[in-house]
A = this chain, B = another copy of it.
Protein backbone atom coordinates (compact mmCIF):
# COMPACT_ATOMS: atom_id res chain seq x y z
CA UNK A 1 0.00 0.00 0.00
CA UNK A 2 1.70 3.19 -1.15
CA UNK A 3 -1.32 5.50 -1.21
CA UNK A 4 -3.37 6.98 1.60
CA UNK A 5 -6.95 6.06 0.67
CA UNK A 6 -10.48 6.42 2.11
CA UNK A 7 -11.65 7.97 5.36
CA UNK A 8 -11.45 6.60 8.90
CA UNK A 9 -13.03 7.99 12.06
CA UNK A 10 -11.12 7.20 15.27
CA UNK A 11 -11.35 8.29 18.88
CA UNK A 12 -9.08 10.62 20.77
CA UNK A 13 -8.51 9.23 24.30
CA UNK A 14 -7.91 11.17 27.53
CA UNK A 15 -4.17 11.12 26.99
CA UNK A 16 -4.54 12.75 23.58
CA UNK A 17 -3.70 9.56 21.70
CA UNK A 18 -5.37 8.41 18.50
CA UNK A 19 -4.88 5.27 16.43
CA UNK A 20 -3.54 5.92 12.96
CA UNK A 21 -5.59 3.71 10.62
CA UNK A 22 -3.81 0.42 9.96
CA UNK A 23 -3.80 0.97 6.19
CA UNK A 24 -2.16 4.36 6.66
CA UNK A 25 0.50 2.79 8.84
CA UNK A 26 1.25 0.33 6.06
CA UNK A 27 2.21 3.30 3.86
CA UNK A 28 4.94 4.24 6.31
CA UNK A 29 6.31 1.11 7.98
CA UNK A 30 8.90 0.38 5.33
CA UNK A 31 10.50 3.79 5.83
CA UNK A 32 13.18 4.92 8.23
CA UNK A 33 11.00 6.86 10.67
CA UNK A 34 8.21 4.84 12.31
CA UNK A 35 5.56 7.54 12.44
CA UNK A 36 3.96 10.39 10.57
CA UNK A 37 4.90 14.01 9.89
CA UNK A 38 2.21 16.66 10.31
CA UNK A 39 1.62 20.41 10.22
CA UNK A 40 -1.38 22.70 10.40
CA UNK A 41 -2.83 23.67 7.02
CA UNK A 42 -2.45 27.38 6.24
CA UNK A 43 -5.74 27.66 4.41
CA UNK A 44 -8.02 25.15 6.12
CA UNK A 45 -8.85 24.13 9.69
CA UNK A 46 -7.16 20.77 9.23
CA UNK A 47 -3.83 19.01 9.75
CA UNK A 48 -1.74 17.88 6.77
CA UNK A 49 -0.01 14.51 7.16
CA UNK A 50 2.60 12.55 5.21
CA UNK A 51 5.57 10.22 5.54
CA UNK A 52 8.93 11.48 6.73
CA UNK A 53 10.41 10.64 3.34
CA UNK A 54 8.01 12.93 1.55
CA UNK A 55 8.84 15.71 3.98
CA UNK A 56 12.55 15.16 3.29
CA UNK A 57 11.92 15.46 -0.43
CA UNK A 58 10.00 18.67 0.16
CA UNK A 59 12.86 20.07 2.20
CA UNK A 60 15.38 19.15 -0.50
CA UNK A 61 13.38 21.17 -3.00
CA UNK A 62 13.65 24.14 -0.70
CA UNK A 63 17.40 23.62 -0.43
CA UNK A 64 17.86 23.96 -4.17
CA UNK A 65 16.66 27.56 -4.06
CA UNK A 66 19.17 30.35 -3.71
CA UNK A 67 20.48 30.19 -0.17
CA UNK A 68 20.06 33.89 0.42
CA UNK A 69 16.79 34.44 -1.37
CA UNK A 70 13.79 35.89 0.39
CA UNK A 71 11.57 33.08 -0.89
CA UNK A 72 13.87 30.49 0.63
CA UNK A 73 13.80 32.32 3.92
CA UNK A 74 10.01 32.37 4.09
CA UNK A 75 9.46 28.83 2.90
CA UNK A 76 11.96 27.46 5.39
CA UNK A 77 10.31 29.40 8.15
CA UNK A 78 6.96 27.92 7.30
CA UNK A 79 7.95 24.36 6.46
CA UNK A 80 10.09 23.34 9.37
CA UNK A 81 8.97 25.40 12.32
CA UNK A 82 5.36 24.24 12.20
CA UNK A 83 6.11 20.61 11.39
CA UNK A 84 5.88 17.84 13.97
CA UNK A 85 7.21 14.29 13.84
CA UNK A 86 4.76 11.97 15.57
CA UNK A 87 6.21 8.51 16.32
CA UNK A 88 3.89 5.51 16.62
CA UNK A 89 3.59 3.88 20.03
CA UNK A 90 3.64 0.09 20.20
CA UNK A 91 0.02 0.00 19.08
CA UNK A 92 0.17 2.37 16.12
CA UNK A 93 -1.09 5.45 17.94
CA UNK A 94 0.27 9.01 17.91
CA UNK A 95 0.01 11.94 20.28
CA UNK A 96 -1.48 14.99 18.55
CA UNK A 97 0.06 18.28 19.80
CA UNK A 98 -2.43 20.64 21.49
CA UNK A 99 -1.68 23.40 19.00
CA UNK A 100 -2.81 21.21 16.12
CA UNK A 101 -5.88 19.97 17.98
CA UNK A 102 -6.88 23.59 18.48
CA UNK A 103 -6.15 24.53 14.90
CA UNK A 104 -8.34 21.73 13.59
CA UNK A 105 -10.92 22.15 16.36
CA UNK A 106 -10.60 18.48 17.28
CA UNK A 107 -11.94 17.40 20.67
CA UNK A 108 -12.97 13.75 20.86
CA UNK A 109 -13.12 12.18 17.40
CA UNK A 110 -10.72 12.38 14.47
CA UNK A 111 -11.21 11.84 10.73
CA UNK A 112 -8.22 10.52 8.78
CA UNK A 113 -8.84 11.44 5.14
CA UNK A 114 -6.68 9.88 2.43
CA UNK A 115 -5.36 12.13 -0.35
CA UNK A 116 -3.01 9.80 -2.21
CA UNK A 117 0.54 10.77 -1.33
CA UNK A 118 -0.69 12.68 1.72
CA UNK A 119 -3.64 12.70 4.07
CA UNK A 120 -5.53 15.11 6.28
CA UNK A 121 -6.69 15.00 9.89
CA UNK A 122 -10.06 16.70 10.46
CA UNK A 123 -12.72 17.33 13.00
CA UNK A 124 -15.25 14.91 11.39
CA UNK A 125 -18.01 17.52 11.42
CA UNK A 126 -15.86 20.21 9.82
CA UNK A 127 -14.77 17.71 7.21
CA UNK A 128 -18.38 16.96 6.27
CA UNK A 129 -19.05 20.67 5.80
CA UNK A 130 -15.88 21.15 3.78
CA UNK A 131 -16.66 18.14 1.63
CA UNK A 132 -20.18 19.38 0.93
CA UNK A 133 -18.90 22.80 -0.09
CA UNK A 134 -16.31 21.25 -2.38
CA UNK A 135 -19.02 19.20 -4.07
CA UNK A 136 -21.18 22.30 -4.45
CA UNK A 137 -18.32 24.22 -6.07
CA UNK A 138 -17.82 21.45 -8.60
CA UNK A 139 -21.50 21.41 -9.46
CA UNK A 140 -21.63 25.19 -9.84
CA UNK A 141 -18.65 25.10 -12.16
CA UNK A 142 -20.21 22.41 -14.30
CA UNK A 143 -23.43 24.36 -14.43
CA UNK A 144 -21.70 27.55 -15.53
CA UNK A 145 -19.72 25.69 -18.16
CA UNK A 146 -22.87 24.16 -19.59
CA UNK A 147 -24.74 27.45 -19.58
Contacts and interface: CB of A to CB of B under 8 A. Distances in A.
Number of copies: 2
Interface in A2-18: 3-7
A25 to B, nearest CB: 14
Interface residues of A, number: 45
Contacts of A76: 115-116
A75 interface: yes
Interface in A90-138: 113-117, 130-131, 134-135, 137-138
Interface of A: 1, 3-7, 23, 33, 37, 42, 55-56, 59, 62-63, 67-68, 70-71, 73-85, 113-117, 130-131, 134-135, 137-139, 141
